[in-house]
Chain A
């Protein structure tokens, strides 16, 4: 079964450092997403991406965050200068979009745990 792949599974970084989290979405999916989940809290939407541009973003997704699809397979989330409160699990997700089923069903990766010290 096709899956969304995320790397690294765990990254530890010092406050102020840049971090790049990588994702390989399902190959025929058109929409890509990043979510985060702080320990013990809910899954929070960060950003959605379609046709090489951001479709929606939340208030969490400020100037410190950026996304990119550098080639036909990878989708990355960059945090420019990490803060302690960025410590969380970051999930990438992809979906085929509405056209295939009339509903936007997401397939998630296993997540990248980011620890900021």
Chain B
């Protein structure tokens, strides 16, 4: 089955800087990869989706890249703000069915 690896260490950055989070997966390359945001005690919220034939996707201050050769996605938040502080989850769909699995997430702290 698919395994997803995200940096378990928290990422601390200064307001205004760019945060870069990494997601690696181990097995087959999925047709698409998703990023979600989770605040403490809340459910994940969908942010962005990138398909296997897309190298990069942008939405406002967010940018996602997808390298199927490296089996890696990078998630960038530019001009970061304290309100961006949250846990960011990478998600993939397992082959053959409706089973989306999540990485453990990377906790981001943006200091003012």
Contact = CB atoms under 8 A, between A and B. Distances in A.
Contact of B44 (A58, A97, A102, A108): A108
Contact of A48 (B34, B99, B103): B99
Contact of B98 (A35, A48, A58): A48
A41 interface: yes
Given A42-B104, A42-B105, A104-B93, A91 B98 contact: no
B43 A93 contact: yes
Given A97-B98, A106-B100, 11 more contacts: A33-B98, A33-B100, A43-B44, A45-B99, A45-B100, A102-B51, A103-B51, A104-B93, A108-B43, A108-B45, A111-B43
Interface in A28-68: 31, 33, 35, 41-45, 48, 50, 55-56, 58
A55 B45 contact: no
14 contacts: A42-B102, A43-B38, A44-B102, A45-B99, A45-B101, A55-B98, A91-B43, A103-B49, A103-B51, A106-B44, A107-B46, A108-B44, A110-B42, A111-B41
Given A105-B46, A108-B43, A111-B41, A43 B51 contact: no
Interface of A: 4, 31, 33, 35, 41-45, 48, 50, 55-56, 58, 89, 91, 93, 95, 97, 102-111
B28 interface: no
A22 to B, nearest CB: 15
A40 to B, nearest CB: 10
A109 B38 CA distance: 12
Interface of B: 31-32, 34, 38, 41-46, 49, 51, 89, 93-94, 97-105
A91 B31 CA distance: 25
Contacts of A58: 99
A56 B99 contact: yes
Given A93-B43, A111-B41, A111-B42, A104 B104 contact: no
